[in-house]
Structure formats: C-alpha cells, structure tokens
Amino acid sequence: MALILFNKPFNVICQFSPHPQHASLADYLTTPEIYPAGRLDADSEGLLLLTDNGKLQHAISHPDSKQTKTYLVQVEGIADAETLTRLRAPLNLGDFVTRQCDVKHVQEPDWLWPRTPPVRRRANRPTSWLTITLSEGKNRQVRRMTASVGLPTLRLVRIAIGPLSLETHPLWPGEFRDIAVAEMGLPTMAVSR
C-alpha cells in the first residue's frame, strides 16, 4: 500500500491527466495507480497525500476521520481580535455553515519558500499571516472564510494534515516522500485492503 506525502507547488492542478493551463501531478509523481486523498486548488500550495488504496483514501479525506488540516494564510489587511473571534466561530457562508475552528495570528515563517509568481502587493494595504486549522474541507473554504470577514486571501499553504506537517516532514515544493500508514494515526481496520 503506497502512501505519499507531496508538497504541491502553486499553479499545479490535483489531477494526473494533462490540463491546458496548469502543470499536473503527473509532472511530479510517476508512481502508478495513486490518487489524491483530498484536494488543493491550483492556486493553493502545500501538503497533499496520495495513495493507491481506496479505503485509505476515503479514511483520510472523509470528514468523519477527524484529520484536521492546518493552513498558513496570507491575507490582505490586519486581523484584529474581533475578526479572529468571528473566524473561529461558525460562519454562515450561504450554502453551508462552517464548524468552529482554530485561528491564530502568526508571523511569516522564515522557512517559507518564495512563491512564483510572487503575491501581488499594494503599498497602501498591509498584509498579515494566520494559521487556520479545520476539521472539515469544503471547496475554497478558507478563502471564503477570510473574504467573509473582509480579509481576502493572498496566499494559501496547507502546512499540516493530521499529525503530518512540514515541520515533521520538511519538503520543498515539488518534493515528495513515502510515509508509513501508521503515521496517520488511523484505525487499522479503516485502512485494511
């Protein structure tokens, strides 16, 4: 059973088939018959898990698995205490209400790689960094959450999936490594073939 941790670069689409505007996973990974366990949009970066086992893929990506995902988010504007409280509480985004989550104001990490192309900057508009840890993962959820409180997302990097993080498993964009299924902390019966 293969389980691969991959640091997806910016502007790479989470599919193996060719795309007319984006690089794909096939440009980085050649392991046969693997599929992403969860997704990241092309304009998002960071950790992605891939496996050749359908039960494992489901166990990792299904909301019942309680695999939290932590994102490092650069936003336009400064997040004050009231805004952080609003982000932590359930937010009504129209088509769904988010679960309560963990949100912290952080400094830009010194280990973070530069993005290519760079994030646009406005001289008259400051930016700040947050970490947002979710126990769910709706389409473009983090971007929609920050926009709903007046802080548009400029850069989004997934830095952790459950117990796996860029701190415990350092990878540069485009790098990957095999990991043991046991590192995910999932019940063994949930992932047996």
45 vs 62: CA distance, rounded Å: 21
Nearest to residue 174, comparing CAs of 73, 15, 25, 41?
25
Burial 41-75 (b: 16+ CB within 10 A, else e): ebebbbbbbbbebeebbebbbeeebebbbbbbbbb
- Residues serving a catalytic function are 41
Give the residue ranges of DSSP H helices in 36-178: 54-61, 81-88, 141-148
Two tokens at 188?
Answer: 């063994």
Task: Please compute, for residue 176, the number of CA atoms within 13 A of its CA located in the half-sphere on the CB side.
Answer: 21
Question: What long-range pairs does 185-190 form, CB within 8 A, spacing at least 24?
Answer: 186/56, 186/59, 186/60, 186/65, 190/55, 190/59, 190/65
